[in-house]
Amino acid sequence: MPGESRQPRTPPARISSKRVPGGLFSLTASVGSRQFITIAVLVFVALGLAWWIVTKAGWVTPLFLPPPGKVMARLQELAVSGKLLDDMLISIYRISLGFLISTAFALPIGILIGSYRAWEAMIEPLVDFIRYMPVVAFVPLTILWTGTGDAQKFLIIFIGTFFQQVLLVMDNVKSVPRDFINLGRTLQMPESRILTRIILPSAMPGIWDSMRISLGWAWTWLVVAELVAATSGLGYRITTAQRFFQTDTIFGYLLLLGVLGLATDQAMKWGSRKLFRYLRQSR
């Protein structure tokens, strides 16, 4: 039986970044995962160091940019008192539920309008229309509608993420190759099965990535909602700190938000690698 698999396979040439003209910073240079992490960590360290030097040298007023040591001490103080954990838990609760509600609506609608052009005509322009309305302008309205409780936070997260998610999911579904759908047709699969057995699994890695990206925005809208009207949460703490010029608290919480965001993002990326193992080329 002829077959190219029989031919001796030459092992893929190891592309070392050193051998590529221009080294690490040439267009096609490969960067190993260890190298990647090292570079990423170095950037954080460098920024931290710059922060420390700038404050240590007294080039800026501590009120504008408090030294890292003071920020850390403040965070520790809040952690010991239990406030930090309380703020974090309530905010995580709000974003989890808000994001889930938004996703629960965005997935079916995005899949629907990505698969059927008639539904797209009905919904897509409307979504685009609302998408351009600034979310912040909805804050007073949402307070009027739902008060200042958790429901208002969910609503702001929903308005901020749902309309973006729908369009992202629609694009993910649209990028399913036409031939995949034609394959289902030639196998005489009913439309509903083509949708569930071909279109959905095919669009899934892209949808997952869209969720990862929109989760980042959800964090922003949560803090916006908490800044304006809340009695708890990370955003609330930042507002109170602002009243007393406690810039160390503000900086501490900003860092904390960054860490939380980075952690969820990494978790989503890890999940993607586990769920869509088949996409990786290992041979």
Partner 1 sequence: MTASKLVISNLGKTFRGDRGDVVALSGVDLTLGENEFVSLVGTSGCGKSTLLSIVAGLESHDAGSVTIEGKPISSPGLDRGVVFQSYTLLPWLTTLGNVEFALLAAGKSRKEARDIARGHLSLVGLDGFADAFPSELSGGMKQRVAIARALSYRPNMLLMDEPFGALDALTRHHMQELLARIWEQHRLTVLFVTHDVEEAVYMSDRVAVMSNRPGRIKRIINIDLPRPRTYEMMGSLEFTRLQREVLAEIRAESIAIAALGDALA
Asked if 17 and 29 touch (Cβ cutoff 8 Å), the reply is yes
58 binds partner 1 (CB under 8 A): no
Site string for partner 1, 261-280 (x = CB under 8 A): ---------------x-xxx
8 A C-beta contact, residue 247 and residue 63: yes
**What contacts 143, CB < 8 A, 6 or more positions away?**
152, 228, 229
Quote the least distance from Cβ 167 to partner 1, whole Å: 24
Is 182 one of the binding residues for partner 1 (CB under 8 A)?
A: yes
* Residue choice 135, 159, 198, 211 for contact with partner 1 (CB under 8 A): 198
C-beta closer to partner 1: residue 9 or 18: 9
107 versus 204: smaller Cβ distance to partner 1: 204
Residue 99, C-beta contacts closer than 8 angstroms, at least 6 positions apart: 157, 161, 214, 215, 218
Question: Footprint of partner 1 on residues 15-34 (CB under 8 A)?
Answer: none
Number of residues that bind partner 1 (CB under 8 A): 29
Q: Does residue number 184 form part of the binding site for partner 1 (CB under 8 A)?
A: yes
10 binds partner 1 (CB under 8 A): no
Supply the DSSP string of 139-180, one letter for each residue.
HHHHHHHHTTSHHHHHHHHHHHHHHHHHHHHHHHHHTS-HHH
First and final CA of the chain: distance in angstroms? Answer: 22
Cβ burial, residue 216 (10 Å; 0-12/13-18/19+):
middle
Give, as ranges, the residues between 155 and 174 that touch partner 1 (CB under 8 A). Answer: none
- 5 scored as a contact of partner 1 (CB under 8 A): yes
In the complex, the residues that contact partner 1 under the rule CB under 8 A are 1-5, 177, 179-180, 182-189, 193, 197-198, 201-202, 204, 276, 278-283
